[in-house]
A = this chain, B = another copy of it.
Amino acid sequence: MSGDTNFYNGCETVKEFKVIERFFTQRGQARRDVELNIGDDCALVNPAINKSIAISCDTLVENVHFFADMPAKALGYKSLAVNLSDLAAMGAEPAWMTLAITLPEIDEDWLADFSDGLSEAAQYYGVALVGGDTTRGPKSITITINGQVPTGKALTRGGAKNGDWIYVTGTLGDSALGLDILRGKQNIEGEYGEYFIQRHYYPTPRVLAGQALRSLASSAIDLSDGFVSDIGHILKQSGVGAIVDVAQLPLSVAMQASVGSEQALGYALTGGEDYELLFTVPESQRGALETALAHSGVSFKQVGQVSTGDKLRLLQDGEPFSPQNYGFEHF
């Protein structure tokens, strides 16, 4: 800009523009389908032919979704990971994202760490950062993610049918236990304690597993609110019921070693933020499942079966399971 207009360079807008330019430009994965990157009024991307675009957005607000002392790198990573988990649940391949970040002040060390975490996830999962807005205000992060999925092949919450088998990936409840450690409600030292905190800070979105399930699963959802709440969305959208054997819910070795079985079950059923996939598979596709998921490197476990009606029935050792009787603090 000209000397005549240098007097604008001190204004907030320019400073904030430089911040996002410095910390975020080209920190995602470079993609050939990005025709124009950050720096114009819009980015331009060229979608693949015969693919639908999957779109989702999530906001994380300080002191609501994360503590003020959450490491910036973990926050950067997790902000993207939770959005990638939504793509995984649709069977979509990650593609492009926008980042809206609101900060009370420009803390360069914090921003560098946040950007490192974000870009680690973006590069690993092949996401280009194509747009952003940095604003001043109470700390929050909103990411809108775009993925691509062959048209007509996306997994939804609405396709579960009576008789389909219900599966979950990974292990459940670890993240919620990690949160309770951070809150001071649990005191678990050493390697296991660290494991739970890492599971809370660095959830693994099941992106490859979701894609592998496209031709097999009748419905899918990611476990963000907790198993009982999230399976409810499948049942409602599909117009079905389900029977789940709580003894089959996959628990980590660390979980089994660290808390009693009732408490473990409480975390697994209602803890939330697992970012594992819950999906249903028709009997005819059960045989193909093992092969399909082998390449995604994630364990999976059958935990129940879709039924008629609209109710979720929890069983334990063949008997009705009544969580109210257990007084779980998470219920």
Query: Chain A residues in contact with chain B, CB under 8 A?
Result: 1-5, 7-8, 11, 13-14, 35-36, 39-47, 49, 52-65, 86-87, 89-90, 92, 96, 98-100, 102, 130-133, 135-138, 140, 142, 144, 146-147, 149, 151, 154, 156-158, 220-222, 225, 228-229, 232, 235-237, 241, 270, 310-314, 322-324, 331
- Contacts A8-B229, A142-B142 given; indicate if A55 touches B130 (C-beta within 8 A): yes
- Contacts A45-B55, A138-B137, A146-B55 given; indicate if A241 touches B87 (C-beta within 8 A): no
Residue of B nearest to A144 (CB): B144
- Docked CA distance A235–B99 (Å): 26
Q: How far is the CB of A291 from chain B (nearest CB, A)?
A: 25
Contacts of A237 in B (CB 8 A): 39-40
Contacts of A154 in B (CB 8 A): 36, 42, 44
Let me know if A90 and B49 touch, CB within 8 A: no
- Contacts A137-B61, A225-B13, A237-B39 given; indicate if A4 touches B130 (C-beta within 8 A): no
Let me know if A313 and B2 touch, CB within 8 A: yes
| Stoichiometry, copies per complex | 2
- Docked CA distance A313–B90 (Å): 53
Q: How far is the CB of A164 from chain B (nearest CB, A)?
A: 17
5 additional A-B residue pairs with CB within 8 Å, beyond A41-B87, A61-B135 = A4-B312, A7-B331, A55-B130, A58-B133, A64-B136
Let me know if B156 and A40 touch, CB within 8 A: yes
Q: How far is the CB of A28 from chain B (nearest CB, A)?
A: 13
Let me know if A131 and B55 touch, CB within 8 A: yes
